[in-house]
Amino acid sequence: MGGTHTRYALTTEWVLAAPVDRIFDLLTAPEDWPRWWHYVESVVPVRQGDAAGVGAVRRYTWTSRLPYRLTFAMETTAVVRPVAIEGTARGELSGTGRWDLRELPRGTCVQYTWQVTTGKAWMNLLAPVLAPGFEWNHDQVMAEGGRGMARHLGVPLLAFRGTSLRRHQAVSSRGES
């Protein structure tokens, strides 16, 4: 069963007024994400990884602002404490995801880079028209993740930047010549 798959390159940045170690500890415990990240419906362990978590596989089910849900398995392929976590997704989304953390004078910058293709036929069929909406939806899910993490840690979310916002800013700045 072939077909065209739409590729997305999505980047999110959160800046939280929290030390890098606290954020890293939350990100490396995804089974707890549904407690603080509204759109994470479930995270089910499939296979345990090594002591650092490399090789772990979890099945994620996400909901979103738009009326659909996505389920995929994510295998952790690299962990560099406390600055990076990388994984490979397979299922209704396939590709790679990477968390990069950088300590700042007032907190931590958290960047998530998500390069995926969609596996749902209707999403691929409608992608030429709905891709901007899918990017917006991803940004909404990620913004809620930043807010949820900040609430969970009891710290402010100092900044959020998502893919669709950057694209909109680029279009606006080109139009201002």
Instruction: Please report the pLDDT score of residue 172 as a whole number.
Output: 34
pLDDT of residue 85: 98
Please state the pTM of the whole predicted model.
0.89
Closest CA to 8 of 103, 86, 120, 104: 120
- Of residues 113, 140, 102, 105, the one with CA closest to residue 24: 102
Collapsed DSSP state (helix, strand, coil) of residue 156:
coil
Where b means 16+ CB within 10 Å and e means fewer, 132-160 reads: eebbbbbbbbbbbbbbbbbebbebebbeb
Per-residue model confidence (pLDDT) at position 94? 96
Burial category of 173 from C-beta neighbours within 10 Å (exposed 0-12, middle 13-18, buried 19 and up) = exposed
* Intervals of the chain under pLDDT 50: 1-2, 167-177
Domains and CATH numbers, the chain: 7-175 (3.30.530.20)
Residue at token pair 């690299």: 78
pLDDT of residue 165: 57
Instruction: Please report the pLDDT score of residue 123 as a whole number.
Output: 86
Structure confidence at residue 163 (pLDDT)? 87
pLDDT at position 60: 98
pLDDT number for residue 174:
39
pLDDT of residue 128: 85
